[in-house]
Structure 1
């Protein structure tokens, strides 16, 4: 438990955490000190002066060590002569605070009067009206009448686009600098700044393209007035009209907690739709931040092109049908192809969807042919053994911690993890970044390793060899009593060179060590080697079985961890592409549009069934297409990359006849003798808890459990630390790993490095982008400017040898498969490597590295 001190606020005694900010400490006990510029996630600057209080200290007698007493027998207090800003004060023993005196009242009233002389009375039309701290604080602490002279009003631009997503009203800005400080301190993107001076001081964007950051929407949350608004919510609804629904971001493995602000809408025919997405505080996951993809990507759920009814292909044409007819036909085909069926699960299926799909696979006898898409990262069994300990919080990592990020472009694949690792570096944690190319995280790294693509497992072997040779392993008792296979690994690493001593020393000298392992530049077999090498390093050095230590997979989707937990595997996907089934059952995945090998294999299947929201390239060649609900239209659970099972709720009305995927599989299973379908996702979760050991004891009510969080950012909007909403949807539950059982034995295994067969040509390496053409993102129109036109990246040296200039049109040949795109010639791609963005190119690239031939083509 944190050390506490005694302070006195308005004559009452309180125990608070030592060193806490005074504003936060007071709020812990329900005492509101009003603020505008202060934010608990950023450094205090004391700019707005709204938090003025009187401060003093109890006078202690040096001889007795006890307080001096005045004539009335009360402790003597030495007061500071002037009002002080509470946000710049940390609490210490004996601190005395007065927040209710006449002097404080007059000071706050004066500050508000100064602010209002430059602030327009836009409240009736302002998007912040109804949840505006300036509005509320003026009512609580402001003057009863105005001395404002209308002719002296400052007139500034009111509808300034800072980019395509955020608008600025310069008249409303109170110069608190929250937005500029967020971009500078939290994100590290130099994109906003102050311009001019005095009353003409105003926010400007200083990047090209404007407001060029992946986290721009957070500035609208932390803005304490209506100066910054999002393009999708501007003039769209009033806060008191909205119903808040807890949900989970469906895009990446972070599992950010969101609030969907919903309302019946005239434009949607009276249906309930999402009007905006706001962050929901969860200090275990995303704190209070979300990326712009999570904030604005939800518009795909109401986009044109959503499938509304089941369709069957007849004589080469799509014919709409009813659900029962579709179910009956699928059941007949499953019986016909019972021994030749493959099941492929997409990354955004809920745990309930995955369980019912697994149950259906079991009824056909094909529960070993259950693949997860995309097959980029594996090692779920290793995560279950040595994943990060229960209670891990990335924001707790500081000078005593080290973080290794390997084979992942973090900002593109898991933006909030990138943000938290960057902040850990700011707090003194040692960040080691290892990849085949430069990434943005390099600038915050203690050490950067650029290896040849395919050599990632060798880098970790080198770290482990360094630990063994320098005798910096866990103690012998641990290795002997709990670890199997240590001697085999030790002997296998005797000849391994320790090539990165600085990085190795940083990792091995840390009290806490977390490894994030991705799949960039690795075939699936190599990625498995990387995960095993990471597990070896963590076990041998003793960084397992406790919070803030262990392994995290950078899964390529929101619920790949859940898919692995439910029995699906990337290896099964690779096997099905190599040995194709006659019939494919595909759910919320688009393999034909994303991978060249799948585009060659799946069209040759005898029968294809897909559940999807849009008519994707995979759906276009299917025999039956089933409309499924989006994440916003149903309830369920996701398991994020830290193994935290989280619940999401129904936010908006369904589109057409779409239903949840779990219900589709359950209805088909009933026709195969699988019993009567469950009536709710909660009932499916009960089945999961009885059959999946990690989920034993979970339930929807338990997942909805919430507790007080510190700092309390999502509470009262008089404080307004970042979001107007508490977490009422649940904080989720993180299931424990094997290593956390003190009696369990752990296994390390020698890692044999698999090298890529290289012939003449360049190595094509697929890379992930945050803004891509994923069917669950690209239909969001307002994000179209963020999605790049198709391109591939080449090193300038390779481009010069091939006679290719920047923006030339080129063709890549991988075997017989051809990909055409514009060339980007820069220093990011290593020599001999071509970087291929996934889900962006007109023709699907390979999802694993492959040798290619590149040539320039005529326009």
Structure 2
């Protein structure tokens, strides 16, 4: 998912509060199933709509946010930019969108959320650019309760962008040609056969991991790392708030946090990196990032009197509301680089469907089948299944029924899956949940056939 640099420049500034949005304000959500991708924001936007905010949902399929929205717009997958561009000043607005565009343009304050529904990296970049241009066009950049919010797939993705990390447009090529591949808390070889082949092509592979993943099995060196629950650190949210977190589990004395592992190697290479405690590592990092200037663990741990005041120790009265004694965090200043955003000219589009096939469209489920979720026995009934979600008309055309077992084939891989029929899925596409065994990162043409027995050669993937 792209756009972290744009969020840093055009995001929600200091003084913003989603809880203050109401009558006269507008919230636009595009390409996101918020209930699955960010349920806390789903609740907050639902509450804002009840206070009178104009909630606008742009998505190819129905989501649970729709029933709270004043306006719902459906667009075909691959038409995100064309739909969002109608909200820009001076755009030719189709008659069907005139009411919703007028409602957005008349708002006193406006917040735009964009997600990754049906998008790869190129599509996400195009949506982020257009959303940033829309926010900028209102002339209220830097004013409270106006800005851009990315619905990131992980909790600290914005922090990674702020520290200089960016996704690669051709990850397989970058990995394959690397003299040294350093993989921390990721498993490219387990995610995608093409990336597994690329990892095998790298000259030297270093892995920092909690588990013996497929990538770790291929590594020249593996460093066991502490989990987030065993260490302290910071996270930066999509609202540009930095918060401190604390260890919840006592770590093994022989296992180190990620920053210490990389810093100790850096020291041996002549780099001046902080390897002792994370609070000092933060001070070193913020020296390089202007928007983080002045941050420290002490500032992040500050608390003020919290309202409403009630007996927080008495659950019969206060419920599950507790006093925050670990820190309210700090809202980042917006980055100022003088660059005006420009809307993308067009969406990334959709690939043509294969003969007797369809287009696989990635979407997000809150409880996927990732490595840190699968060990939990309590969550198994809530985990996303390895399914293709199809409209019944699409399934009928392909001769498939609900619960049919199928083989999905594309790009020299095949995956076993099950059909799940859903009237809300657009005709001609199949929704595939991310992190459930499908190596699909962007819309992808594929064939779907009744399952036949073939030898298993790559974990859950077959080729």
Structure 2 length as normaliser, TM-score? Answer: 0.91
- Per the alignment, residue 845 of structure 1 pairs with 439
Secondary structure of 1:585's partner?
Answer: strand
State the Cα distance separating 1:439 from its structure 2 match: 1.2
State the Cα distance separating 1:779 from its structure 2 match: 1.5
Question: 1:782 aligned to 2:378?
Answer: yes
Note the residue ranges of structure 2 that are not aligned, 5 or more in a row: 454-463
- Per the alignment, residue 28 of structure 2 pairs with 404
Question: 1:805 aligned to 2:401?
Answer: yes
State the Cα distance separating 1:609 from its structure 2 match: 1.6
- Per the alignment, residue 574 of structure 1 pairs with 169
Aligned CA RMSD, in angstroms, stands at: 2.1
Distance 1:726 1:387 in 2: 28
Question: 1:385 aligned to 2:1?
Answer: no
State the Cα distance separating 1:392 from its structure 2 match: 1.6
- Per the alignment, residue 267 of structure 2 pairs with 670
- Per the alignment, residue 45 of structure 2 pairs with 421
Asked if 1 retains the 8 angstrom alpha-carbon contact of 2:351 and 2:359, the reply is no
Secondary structure of 2:170's partner?
Answer: helix
- Per the alignment, residue 835 of structure 1 pairs with 431
Change in Cα spacing, 1:448 to 1:595, as seen in structure 2 (3 Å) is farther
Change in Cα spacing, 1:661 to 1:532, as seen in structure 2 (3 Å) is same
State the Cα distance separating 1:839 from its structure 2 match: 1.3
Change in Cα spacing, 1:599 to 1:411, as seen in structure 2 (3 Å) is farther
State the Cα distance separating 1:797 from its structure 2 match: 0.7
Asked if 2 retains the 8 angstrom alpha-carbon contact of 1:404 and 1:432, the reply is yes
Question: 1:772 aligned to 2:396?
Answer: no
- Per the alignment, residue 854 of structure 1 pairs with 448
2:341 to 740, 748, 753: 748
Change in Cα spacing, 1:652 to 1:659, as seen in structure 2 (3 Å) is same
Asked if 1 retains the 8 angstrom alpha-carbon contact of 2:384 and 2:433, the reply is no
Residues 226-375 of structure 1 mapped to structure 2, 5 A cutoff = none
Distance 2:250 2:18 in 1: 36
Secondary structure of 1:691's partner?
Answer: coil
State the Cα distance separating 1:712 from its structure 2 match: 3.5
Change in Cα spacing, 1:824 to 1:655, as seen in structure 2 (3 Å) is farther
Asked if 1 retains the 8 angstrom alpha-carbon contact of 2:259 and 2:275, the reply is no
Question: 1:503 aligned to 2:127?
Answer: no
Question: 1:643 aligned to 2:240?
Answer: yes
Change in Cα spacing, 1:521 to 1:788, as seen in structure 2 (3 Å) is closer
1:514 to 111, 116, 122: 111
Secondary structure of 1:782's partner?
Answer: coil
Distance 1:714 1:622 in 2: 54
Secondary structure of 2:255's partner?
Answer: coil
Residues 438-453 of structure 1 mapped to structure 2, 5 A cutoff = 438-453=62-77
1:144-174 deviations in Å (ceiling 9; x for gaps): xxxxxxxxxxxxxxxxxxxxxxxxxxxxxxx
1:46-75 deviations in Å (ceiling 9; x for gaps): xxxxxxxxxxxxxxxxxxxxxxxxxxxxxx
1:825 to 411, 415, 421: 421
Distance 2:236 2:419 in 1: 38
Distance 2:76 2:273 in 1: 54
Distance 2:327 2:234 in 1: 11
Asked if 1 retains the 8 angstrom alpha-carbon contact of 2:85 and 2:343, the reply is no
Distance 1:691 1:802 in 2: 55
Distance 2:319 2:188 in 1: 39
Change in Cα spacing, 1:809 to 1:600, as seen in structure 2 (3 Å) is farther
Asked if 2 retains the 8 angstrom alpha-carbon contact of 1:533 and 1:751, the reply is yes
1:634-658 deviations in Å (ceiling 9; x for gaps): 1111111111111112222114622
Higher relative contact order (Cα pairs below 8 Å, separated by 6+ residues): 2
Residues 70-85 of structure 1 mapped to structure 2, 5 A cutoff = none
Q: Which range moves more in the overlay, 408-417 or 788-797?
A: 788-797
Change in Cα spacing, 1:765 to 1:721, as seen in structure 2 (3 Å) is same
- Per the alignment, residue 458 of structure 2 pairs with none
Asked if 1 retains the 8 angstrom alpha-carbon contact of 2:19 and 2:48, the reply is yes
Change in Cα spacing, 1:724 to 1:834, as seen in structure 2 (3 Å) is closer
State the Cα distance separating 1:714 from its structure 2 match: 7.6
Distance 2:106 2:313 in 1: 42
Distance 1:829 1:582 in 2: 44
Distance 1:713 1:630 in 2: 35
2:304 to 704, 707, 712: 707
1:71-124 deviations in Å (ceiling 9; x for gaps): xxxxxxxxxxxxxxxxxxxxxxxxxxxxxxxxxxxxxxxxxxxxxxxxxxxxxx
1:566-608 deviations in Å (ceiling 9; x for gaps): 10001xx233323432431011112233345424422333332
Aligned residues: 448
- Per the alignment, residue 55 of structure 2 pairs with 431
Asked if 1 retains the 8 angstrom alpha-carbon contact of 2:273 and 2:281, the reply is no
Asked if 2 retains the 8 angstrom alpha-carbon contact of 1:582 and 1:605, the reply is yes
- Per the alignment, residue 524 of structure 1 pairs with 121
State the Cα distance separating 1:621 from its structure 2 match: 2.7
Distance 2:87 2:96 in 1: 8
- Runs of 4+ off more than 6 Å: none
Asked if 2 retains the 8 angstrom alpha-carbon contact of 1:596 and 1:817, the reply is yes
1:718-771 deviations in Å (ceiling 9; x for gaps): 7742336311111000111147xxxx8451324211333425331111111111
- Per the alignment, residue 463 of structure 1 pairs with 87
Distance 2:164 2:311 in 1: 37
Distance 2:8 2:197 in 1: 34
Asked if 1 retains the 8 angstrom alpha-carbon contact of 2:353 and 2:359, the reply is no
1:188-243 deviations in Å (ceiling 9; x for gaps): xxxxxxxxxxxxxxxxxxxxxxxxxxxxxxxxxxxxxxxxxxxxxxxxxxxxxxxx
Change in Cα spacing, 1:849 to 1:757, as seen in structure 2 (3 Å) is closer
Question: 1:541 aligned to 2:135?
Answer: no
Distance 1:621 1:640 in 2: 33
- Per the alignment, residue 736 of structure 1 pairs with 333
Question: 1:791 aligned to 2:387?
Answer: yes
Distance 2:433 2:135 in 1: 32
Asked if 2 retains the 8 angstrom alpha-carbon contact of 1:597 and 1:846, the reply is no
Asked if 1 retains the 8 angstrom alpha-carbon contact of 2:261 and 2:275, the reply is no
Distance 1:678 1:517 in 2: 37
Secondary structure of 2:134's partner?
Answer: helix
State the Cα distance separating 1:498 from its structure 2 match: 6.3
Change in Cα spacing, 1:720 to 1:501, as seen in structure 2 (3 Å) is same
1:659 to 231, 256, 275: 256
Asked if 2 retains the 8 angstrom alpha-carbon contact of 1:703 and 1:730, the reply is yes
Asked if 1 retains the 8 angstrom alpha-carbon contact of 2:387 and 2:433, the reply is yes
